C-alpha cells in the first residue's frame, strides 16, 4: 500500500509551493488506494504559531485534500525521539560531543582559511576520556567514513553522495531537543511512509536521513524531489509573483478546483491536456512523470482556468460563494439572469461580485472621464427623450429582448447612432463606460429603476452646472 504525507512547519502560512507538494502526495496515495497523512513539524517551539497551524488546516479543508486520521504533531513525540537517541548511544552508533561553540567556530575559520569545506572533524567520535566541565554536550550520529551514499530519486534519477561530504551531524541539541533530519526519518519510518514526495530543497537532507534509517534498521521509502516553482524572469517565487497564503487565493475569488488544476500542471503533464478534474488527476498522475526542471508560475493561466471553472459552476453554487464577497443573491428574483451573464464575463468571484453590485446597486458616483465623454452635446436631451420612450412603451418591459427592441426603435425614430444613447445610458445605469449589455442591465433592474437612475444622472448634471 502506498502511504504518503505532507509535513509543513507551522511557522507561517501555507503557500502554493507547499500546496502543490501536498497535492502530489495526495494524488499518488489516492490513485493507489493508499493513505495520505498530515504531520505538523512543530519541534521548533520558538518559531511555531498556533495561528499558522490553523491556517494550514483551513487551507486543506478549502481545497478538499482530506488526509487520513488525525494530524500528527511532532511536539507530542519528544519522548519517542529521546528513546531512539538513547538506543543509538547504547549501540555505539551515536556519541556525546563536548565541543564548545568557540572551538567549532575556530575549526571552521581554519578550514575556510585552507579553502576546505567547513565540517565537524569527528574529534569526540571515539572519545573515552573525562568530559570537560561546563559543557552541555550535543549528540552526534556516526556517519560512514568511506564509500558513498546512493539512492534512487523517482524524478532526478540516481543520486550519489560521497560519504566524506556528510559529517557526524547533530541529532540532539545540548538541551536534549532532537534535530530536523533525525525526527523526520523516525516519523516517516514509524508512520509507514512508502513514498516521500517533497521539494528539491530537501535533496541534500536525504543522505542524512538515510544514515538515520540505516542506523535504526528502518526500510527506506522511495524518494521524489520536486523542482521548485519559479517566478518572473526565472527568479525564486516571491509573494508578488504568487507565493502568497493559499487562503489569499480564496479571498481573491479563485475556486479551489482551479487552483489545484493550475498547480498539478506546474511540473507535471499528461499529453497536451490543460484542464483536469480531480478524477482525471487521480487517473493519470504519476510522480515519475514530474519534470526534472523547475516550472514557471503563470498568473494569466491561473485566471484562464478560474474563468473556465466559474463558467461551468452551477448558479446556486456561485450564489453561495459570492456571499463571501458581500453579495447575497439566493433570493434575488433576477439571480439566474445575473449569474448567467456574469459568469461568462468574469475571471474571479471578486470581479463577479463587483460587477454584479454595479448593476443591482444604484451608482453613488460617476466616473469623471466617462461622464465627460458620454454627456457631450445633446446627450441630456436624448436621455430625457429615452425616459419618455420607456414610460410610453406599450406593453410590459421584462426581458432583455423587450429593452433591445425599445432601443432599436428609439435610435431609428431619432435618427441617431446607437452610441448617442448607449454611452450616456451606460453611465446613468452603472456609473461608467463598459460593462454588460444595456438590455440585460435594464431587464435586471426593471423599468422604474432604469428611469430613476437616468433621472438621478440628469439631476446630478443639472446641479453641477448650476453651481
> What CATH number should be reported for the domain holding residue 145?
3.40.50.620
Annotation says 114 is catalytic: no
The DSSP code sequence of 28-82 is HHHHTT-EEEEEE----TTT--HHHHHHHHHHHHHHT-PPSSSPEEGGG-HHHHH
- What pLDDT, on the 0 to 100 scale, is given for residue 34? 98
Clarify whether residues 205 and 119 are in a common domain. Answer: yes
- What pLDDT, on the 0 to 100 scale, is given for residue 46? 67
Clarify whether residues 93 and 222 are in a common domain. Answer: yes
- What pLDDT, on the 0 to 100 scale, is given for residue 239? 65
Clarify whether residues 160 and 233 are in a common domain. Answer: no
Q: What is the dihedral of CA 273, 279, 283, 285, to 10 degrees?
A: 70
Clarify whether residues 157 and 209 are in a common domain. Answer: yes
The domain that holds 337 is classified in CATH as 1.10.8
**β-strand 229-230 against 295-296: which pairing, if any?**
parallel
- What pLDDT, on the 0 to 100 scale, is given for residue 243? 64
Whole-angstrom Cα distance, residue 437 to residue 368? 21
Clarify whether residues 82 and 212 are in a common domain. Answer: yes
- What pLDDT, on the 0 to 100 scale, is given for residue 460? 87
87 annotated as belonging to a binding site for a ligand: no
Number of residues in the chain? 467
- What pLDDT, on the 0 to 100 scale, is given for residue 133? 87
**pLDDT tens digits for range 315-362:** 999 999 999 999 999 888 889 999 999 999 999 999 999 999 999 999
Q: Which of 169, 199, 226 is the last residue of a domain?
A: 226
pTM summary value? 0.91
Whole-angstrom Cα distance, residue 435 to residue 375? 18
DSSP state of 156: T
- What pLDDT, on the 0 to 100 scale, is given for residue 241? 67
Residue 222 and residue 286 in contact, taking contact as beta carbons nearer than 8 Å: no
User: Residue 297: which residues within 8 A CB-CB, separation 6 or more?
Assistant: 229, 230, 231, 232, 237, 241, 242, 266
Clarify whether residues 101 and 131 are in a common domain. Answer: yes
- What pLDDT, on the 0 to 100 scale, is given for residue 467? 61
The domain that holds 383 is classified in CATH as 1.10.10.350
Whole-angstrom Cα distance, residue 421 to residue 426? 8
Structural domain that includes position 237: 3-73+228-305
Residue-by-residue pLDDT tens, the chain, 467 positions: 999 999 998 888 899 999 999 999 999 999 999 999 999 998 877 677 788 889 899 999 999 999 999 999 999 999 999 999 999 999 999 999 999 888 888 988 888 888 888 889 989 999 988 998 888 999 999 999 999 999 999 999 999 999 989 999 999 999 999 999 999 999 999 999 999 999 999 999 999 999 999 999 999 999 999 999 998 777 888 766 666 789 999 999 999 999 999 999 999 999 999 999 999 999 999 999 999 999 999 999 999 999 999 999 999 999 999 999 999 998 888 899 999 999 999 999 999 999 999 999 999 999 999 899 989 989 899 999 999 999 988 678 888 999 999 999 999 998 999 899 999 999 999 999 988 999 999 999 999 999 999 999 999 888 777 66
Strand residue runs (E) in 190-311: 195-199, 222-226, 229-230, 295-296
The counts of H helices and E strands in the chain are 19, 12
The DSSP code sequence of 276-328 is --HHHHHHH--GGGS-SS-EE--HHHHHHHHHHHHHTS-HHHHHHHHGGGT--
Clarify whether residues 92 and 116 are in a common domain. Answer: yes
Whole-angstrom Cα distance, residue 182 to residue 205? 10
Whole-angstrom Cα distance, residue 77 to residue 90? 20
Q: Which of 279, 305, 331 is the last residue of a domain?
A: 305
Q: In angstroms, what CA-CA distances link 407 with 397, 414, 435, 462?
A: 12, 11, 17, 25
Measured N-to-C along each axis, helices 400-414 and 379-392 cross at an angle, to the nearest 10 degrees, of 130
Clarify whether residues 99 and 219 are in a common domain. Answer: yes
Whole-angstrom Cα distance, residue 408 to residue 234? 53
Scanning the structure block, which residue is given the C-alpha cell 444595456? 438
Residue 62 and residue 251 in contact, taking contact as beta carbons nearer than 8 Å: no
Clarify whether residues 293 and 198 are in a common domain. Answer: no
Q: Which of 183, 204, 226 is the last residue of a domain?
A: 226
- What pLDDT, on the 0 to 100 scale, is given for residue 161? 95
Q: In angstroms, what CA-CA distances link 183 with 338, 340, 365?
A: 54, 53, 61
- What pLDDT, on the 0 to 100 scale, is given for residue 153? 97
- What pLDDT, on the 0 to 100 scale, is given for residue 43? 81
Clarify whether residues 92 and 148 are in a common domain. Answer: yes
Clarify whether residues 91 and 191 are in a common domain. Answer: yes
Catalytic residue (one of 162, 236, 239, 311): 239
Number of Cβ within a 10 Å radius of residue 373:
14
Tally of structural domains, the chain:
4
Clarify whether residues 297 and 322 are in a common domain. Answer: no
Whole-angstrom Cα distance, residue 434 to residue 370? 9
Amino acid at each position: 500500500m502506498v502511504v504518503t504525507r505532507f509535513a509543513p512547519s507551522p511557522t507561517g502560512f501555507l503557500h502554493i509551493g507547499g500546496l502543490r507538494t501536498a497535492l502530489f502526495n495526495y494524488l499518488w496515495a489516492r490513485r493507489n488506494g493508499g493513505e495520505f497523512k498530515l504531520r505538523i513539524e512543530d519541534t521548533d517551539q520558538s518559531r511555531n504559531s498556533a495561528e499558522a497551524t490553523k491556517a494550514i488546516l483551513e487551507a486543506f479543508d478549502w481545497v478538499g485534500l482530506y488526509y487520513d486520521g488525525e494530524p500528527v504533531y511532532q511536539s507530542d513525540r519528544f519522548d519517542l525521539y529521546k528513546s531512539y537517541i538513547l538506543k543509538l548511544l547504547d549501540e555505539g552508533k551515536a556519541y556525546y560531543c563536548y565541543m564548545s561553540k568557540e572551538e567549532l567556530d575556530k575549526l571552521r575559520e581554519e578550514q575556510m582559511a585552507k579553502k576546505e569545506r567547513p565540517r565537524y572533524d569527528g574529534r569526540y567520535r571515539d572519545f573515552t576520556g573525562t568530559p570537560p566541565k561546563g559543557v552541555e554536550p550535543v549528540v552526534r550520529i556516526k556517519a560512514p567514513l568511506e564509500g558513498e551514499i546512493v539512492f534512487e530519486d523517482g524524478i532526478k534519477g540516481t543520486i550519489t553522495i560521497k560519504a566524506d561530504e556528510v559529517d557526524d551531524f547533530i541529532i540532539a541539541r545540548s538541551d536534549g531537543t532532537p534535530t530536523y533530519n533525525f525526527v523526520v526519518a523516525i516519523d516517516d519510518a514509524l508512520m509507514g511512509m512508502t513514498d516521500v514526495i517533497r521539494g528539491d530543497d530537501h535533496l541534500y537532507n536525504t543522505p542524512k536521513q538515510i544514515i538515520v534509517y540505516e542506523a535504526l534498521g528502518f526500510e527506506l521509502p522511495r524518494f521524489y524531489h520536486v523542482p521548485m516553482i519559479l517566478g518572473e524572469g526565472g527568479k525564486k517565487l516571491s509573494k508578488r509573483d504568487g507565493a502568497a497564503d493559499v487562503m489569499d487565493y480564496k479571498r481573491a475569488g479563485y475556486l479551489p478546483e482551479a487552483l489545484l488544476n493550475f498547480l498539478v500542471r506546474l511540473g507535471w503533464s499528461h499529453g497536451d491536456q490543460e484542464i483536469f478534474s480531480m478524477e482525471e488527476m487521480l487517473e493519470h498522475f504519476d510522480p515519475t512523470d514530474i519534470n526534472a526542471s523547475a516550472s514557471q508560475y503563470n498568473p494569466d493561466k491561473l485566471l484562464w482556468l478560474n474563468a473556465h471553472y466559474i463558467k461551468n459552476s452551477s448558479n446556486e453554487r456561485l450564489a453561495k460563494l459570492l456571499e463571501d464577497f458581500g453579495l447575497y443573491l439566493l433570493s434575488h428574483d433576477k439571480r439566474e439572469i445575473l449569474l448567467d451573464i456574469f459568469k461568462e464575463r468574469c475571471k474571479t468571484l471578486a470581479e463577479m461580485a463587483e460587477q454584479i453590485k454595479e448593476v443591482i446597486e444604484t451608482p453613488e458616483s460617476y466616473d469623471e472621464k466617462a461622464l465627460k465623454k458620454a454627456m457631450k452635446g445633446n446627450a441630456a436631451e436624448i436621455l430625457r427623450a429615452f425616459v419618455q420612450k420607456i414610460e410610453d412603451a406599450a406593453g410590459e418591459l421584462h426581458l432583455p429582448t423587450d429593452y433591445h427592441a425599445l432601443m432599436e426603435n428609439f435610435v431609428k425614430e431619432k435618427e441617431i447612432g446607437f452610441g448617442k444613447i448607449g454611452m450616456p445610458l451606460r453611465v446613468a445605469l452603472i456609473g461608467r463606460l463598459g460593462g454588460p449589455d444595456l438590455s440585460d442591465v435594464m431587464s435586471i433592474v426593471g423599468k422604474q429603476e432604469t428611469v430613476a437612475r437616468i433621472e438621478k444622472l440628469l439631476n446630478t448634471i443639472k446641479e453641477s452646472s448650476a453651481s
